Structure 1
Amino acid sequence: MAVKSLLNIPVLNLETEKQRWNTIYKVLSEPKPNIESTPRKAVWKKNKSVLWYHPASEKKYNTPLFLVYSLLNKSYILDISEEASVIGNLTKQGYDVYLLDWGSPGLEDKDLTLDNYIIDYLEVAVKRALRHSGAKEISLVGYCIGGTLSAILTSLTDLPIKNLVLAAVPIDYSDVIVPDKWVKAIQNGTLNFDRFADAYEVIPSEFLSAIFMALQGFNIGPTINLVTRAHDQKYVDKWRRMDKWMKDAVTFSGAAFKQMFNELYKDNKLVKGEMKIGGQKVDLSNIKCSTLVISSTRDELVLESQSLPVMDLISSEDKTYQHEEAGHVSLCLTGQFAFAIDPWLSERSTKVNNG
């Protein structure tokens, strides 16, 4: 039933409005959706971490991809749905894909450092991927903090990393999306996360979710979008998946948490060349492989000024800087990331000889 307009006021369709709010109520009250992954199998496990192998639908390249996502969020954002899966689209494009799922540390993992994650987990996992694939070289693709760890590993390791892709990657922490008062407090020691980390030993997922939301200014945009587009079932399904991922944070090792905030956020040691991993100084100029750096134009978490400096710090002769019209999360959520890196990677990956 529609209410007639007498003063040129838009007609209100009560049935449509009822359906809209019923949909919103259902979304907010029903269980979170199940996320089904692109076909995969586990090829290596260590503690809470799993190395997943996603075979190409029809293999076109002998150079596999190794995806590294952030330590602060769950990696299934890269495989969020069949039609919007970064991993799924990459396998359809002919790449064998490996993904390191870091897992969520327990109290027994409180002493895990960034050194452990890079040397004992990431480097070993890349070795396993090379062994499993039988490939002579591999492409390392890091997203957000996963990109930071990937850049560090590439600068230290002698593994045959043919291509390096760094997307939405924080490298320079002199300019970050954090309230100015936070920055000053962190830099002068007023805001000290060491005591907090020591008290909890493993940072609760709820706290990381709160930080994530705070850095986005407690953005209510997604909720407004749900209200205005509740009639669009495809959008509602995508919204539910994003909402699940946003609220599905991981725990974080207290030792790694302290190291990240002190050495990166506070002292900016990576850019200054003062950071050490496994007793070895991290020198990004050691990176000589082909490198692609991607920034998102609407990134609400990592500024372009945090990513761009890596272009001058590395020694690669073949290096490309690329802008994508997307946000920090939407670049993955829509599957757009797969199409953004394919043209560059396809030219630099060894093709399968079908002759």
Structure 2
Amino acid sequence: MTQTAVQSKGRDGPVKERSAEVSLDAAAALLDRYAHALFGRAVGRLPAPALQLAWLDWALSMARSPGKQCALWHQWAQAFLPVMPQTEPGSVGDTAELDHSVDPRFADPAWGRWPFNLLRDAFFEMESFWKNATTGLQGVTPHHEHMVSFAARQWTDMLSPSNCWWLNPEVLREMMGTGGRNFIEGGRRWLDDQQEVLAGYSPRTSPRRCIAHCVGQHVAITPGKVVYRNELIELIRYTPQTTTVWPEPLLIVPSWILKYYILDLSPHNSLVRYLVERGHTVYMVSWKNPREDARDLGLDDYLERGIFDAVTQVCRASGAASIHAAGYCLGGTLLAIAAAALARDSATPLRTITLFAAQTDFSEPGELGLYVGWNELADLDALMWDQGCLEGTQMARAFQLLHSRDLIWSRMMREYLLGKHTVPTDLMAWNADTTRLPYRMHSETLRELYLRNALAEGGYYVRGRAVALADVRLPTFVVGTERDHVSPWRSVYKLHLMSNAEISFLLTSGGHNAGIISEPGHPGRRYRFSTRRKNAPYLDPDEWYAQAVVHEGSWWPRWQHWLMAHSGEKIASGAAPVESGLCDAPGTYVLEP
């Protein structure tokens, strides 16, 4: 160290040499980053090196597990050997009707008759075999096991007999009935889809499929005004629909991954409309769709210019001493961080918080964790750095793989083989309205929340100081959904471990989106609900599930009654001053492509 100091002070040669070394290291790092970006662009979805490492880990562990191998051979023999000689009608009786909710690809009754029942059952046996082969193997890291199991499921889904027209009884029946016109119509749809793929869309995000649901005309039409705007958000205040309102307004923070109007779809399933019609004054954050020039916006910007600015503006505009706040998905995660920071500084204007399908502990992030590992992040981070942002179509393809059975294979069979048109819904239109994510913000989200789990482990910093959810002592309402692949409900439930506040936990039927959009009157809806009192003992999720009472119908009334119970006496509603409205809802940011 002394020698280095002398050289730095006294001789120009070593200083130049050291600068050259630094420049060389920087150039090498830059070159590596460009190489990772090119590779990430070429591979697109699951990074090949990460998947190869996962398969290698699995193969080496399988090679030294003779017991597992014997169990798999026994399963294969029991499943396939008794069936193989029996290839004539009647040799294997028609199987019982399948549970169509498990796999709708085989919902047609013809799959229960010979020979299609053999194909179907063989496929299910193959699925079961590979599921057992890729899970529960000692020595494989959990992340690698998850990746291998996911890849095996993708391959088995590809080999399903429902994907082959000559093996699918539903397609064969349609072919006989139409004289083959279903293939002509399916071919036309395939060509249309290829043209849109060349234009940068996937078949799932095609605007042609969702043109019947225009923002501001068919969806996002609850009356309101944009009352505040900065470079990151527009704040919408919805017009009260009742003569009296609850004194505490409600601020809703959606996720920035897709646009806010999932909570204000068509009039019959708009959560915003449901609330304003019951006396709540609702404010909504509408995130700006960033472009490449927003590459350096980070999570701290989204927190400061998004949550904190919105809370300040709602309090100022309403004159309320305290407000309710609700967050959806990552919007809920960011709201939880904001609530912890405000509680830490003893300056919280929040009266309650509500989290819709929002994780605060990311140790078990569900299937989205397939894309979030240090190897995967290296390529994705470099790709986003090169582009300045993550394009919405790139993110859509990743989510499409998570639901490939429904979003790829079932859709392809229906549209390309049966030649039938899928009628778009408002939820499909919202799902196709993709957004971009700034490089720095998305990189920090993956690195700090998903990989380091900094929020749950006390390592997340706001304004230079760590925040802890244990500081949040507000009444909290948490919603999880039973079939959530993005925020698994058991992961959402982990908030009970980090907070001793009163937590009302509700588990509803449906998935990450459809479970939240659960308007009254929607058939087949149900939910479980209970409240853990402040400082009450912890109950593990399985025990909670067994004890929680099942209620039929929508969960929206339960949450609205909870908001009422935590609000003051009603007051006369008043319209926002005319000069405070920048423009009518839905605003301008949501319309930006």
Q: TM-score per shorter chain, which class?
A: 0.7 to 0.9
Q: What does residue 165 of structure 1 align with?
A: 354
Inter-partner Cα distance in structure 2 for 1:76 and 1:225: 30
Inter-partner Cα distance in structure 2 for 1:172 and 1:331: 21
- The secondary structure found in structure 2 opposite 1:149 is helix
Which is helix-richer, 1 or 2?
2
- Pick closer, same or farther for the CA change 1:181–1:329 going to 2, 3 Å: closer
Q: 1:34 aligns with which of 214, 221, 234?
A: 214
Q: What does residue 148 of structure 1 align with?
A: 333
Structure 2 portions without partners, runs of 5+: 1-168, 190-205, 416-421, 520-553, 573-593
Structure 1 portions without partners, runs of 5+: 1-8, 228-234
* Contact 1:87-1:338 at 8 Å conserved across structures: no
Q: Mean Cα displacement is larger for which, 168-177 or 67-76?
A: 168-177
Q: What does residue 79 of structure 1 align with?
A: 264
Q: Name the amino acid aligned to 2:513.
A: V
Summarize deviations over 1:33-83 as a string: whole Å, max 9, x none.
213320010010011420000132113311111001111111111111011
- The secondary structure found in structure 1 opposite 2:283 is strand
Q: What does residue 342 of structure 1 align with?
A: 560
* Higher RCO (CA-CA < 8 Å; seq separation 6+): 1
* Deviation, structure 1 residue 338: 3.8
Summarize deviations over 1:146-174 as a string: whole Å, max 9, x none.
11001000011223100100110122211
Q: Name the amino acid aligned to 1:313.
A: M
Q: Mean Cα displacement is larger for which, 145-154 or 334-343?
A: 334-343
* Deviation, structure 1 residue 326: 2.2
* Contact 2:245-2:570 at 8 Å conserved across structures: yes
- Pick closer, same or farther for the CA change 1:180–1:291 going to 2, 3 Å: closer
Q: What does residue 248 of structure 2 align with?
A: 63
Summarize deviations over 1:229-259 as a string: whole Å, max 9, x none.
xxxxxx94xx432222112111111000110
- The secondary structure found in structure 2 opposite 1:56 is coil
Correspondence list, 1:115-154, <5 A:
115-154=300-339
Q: What does residue 542 of structure 2 align with?
A: none
Q: What does residue 206 of structure 1 align with?
A: 393
- Pick closer, same or farther for the CA change 1:120–1:220 going to 2, 3 Å: closer
* Contact 2:232-2:306 at 8 Å conserved across structures: no
Q: 1:45 aligns with which of 200, 216, 229?
A: 229
Q: Name the amino acid aligned to 2:274.
A: N
Identity of aligned pairs, percent? 23
Correspondence list, 1:225-304, <5 A:
236=423, 239-304=424-489
Q: Are 2:523 and 1:305 aligned?
A: no
Q: What does residue 194 of structure 1 align with?
A: 381
Number of residue pairs matched?
332
* Deviation, structure 1 residue 223: 4.0
Q: Name the amino acid aligned to 1:74.
A: K
Q: 1:330 aligns with which of 502, 514, 523?
A: 514
Inter-partner Cα distance in structure 1 for 2:402 and 2:247: 40
- Pick closer, same or farther for the CA change 1:254–1:218 going to 2, 3 Å: farther
Inter-partner Cα distance in structure 1 for 2:400 and 2:325: 29
* Contact 1:193-1:261 at 8 Å conserved across structures: no
* Deviation, structure 1 residue 299: 1.6
Which is strand-richer, 1 or 2?
1
- Pick closer, same or farther for the CA change 1:352–1:209 going to 2, 3 Å: same
Inter-partner Cα distance in structure 1 for 2:555 and 2:458: 30
Summarize deviations over 1:99-121 as a string: whole Å, max 9, x none.
00112112221111111111222
Q: Name the amino acid aligned to 1:273.
A: G
- The secondary structure found in structure 1 opposite 2:446 is helix
Inter-partner Cα distance in structure 2 for 1:112 and 1:120: 10
* Contact 1:145-1:170 at 8 Å conserved across structures: yes
Summarize deviations over 1:185-233 as a string: whole Å, max 9, x none.
x146775432122111121121121222233346338848988xxxxxx
- Pick closer, same or farther for the CA change 1:30–1:289 going to 2, 3 Å: closer
* Contact 1:55-1:95 at 8 Å conserved across structures: no
* Contact 1:66-1:140 at 8 Å conserved across structures: yes
Inter-partner Cα distance in structure 2 for 1:152 and 1:305: 20
Q: Mean Cα displacement is larger for which, 85-94 or 190-199?
A: 190-199
Inter-partner Cα distance in structure 2 for 1:208 and 1:181: 13
Inter-partner Cα distance in structure 2 for 1:213 and 1:252: 18
Provide the alpha-carbon RMSD of the alignment.
3.3
- Pick closer, same or farther for the CA change 1:194–1:104 going to 2, 3 Å: same
Q: Name the amino acid aligned to 1:194.
A: D
Q: Name the amino acid aligned to 1:35.
A: V
Q: What does residue 280 of structure 2 align with?
A: 95
Q: Are 2:329 and 1:111 aligned?
A: no
- Pick closer, same or farther for the CA change 1:217–1:279 going to 2, 3 Å: farther
- Pick closer, same or farther for the CA change 1:190–1:298 going to 2, 3 Å: closer
* Contact 1:104-1:250 at 8 Å conserved across structures: yes
TM-score (norm 1): 0.83
Inter-partner Cα distance in structure 2 for 1:225 and 1:64: 47
- The secondary structure found in structure 1 opposite 2:367 is coil
* Deviation, structure 1 residue 353: 4.7
TM-score (norm 2): 0.51
Q: What does residue 230 of structure 1 align with?
A: none
Inter-partner Cα distance in structure 2 for 1:203 and 1:224: 27
- The secondary structure found in structure 2 opposite 1:155 is helix
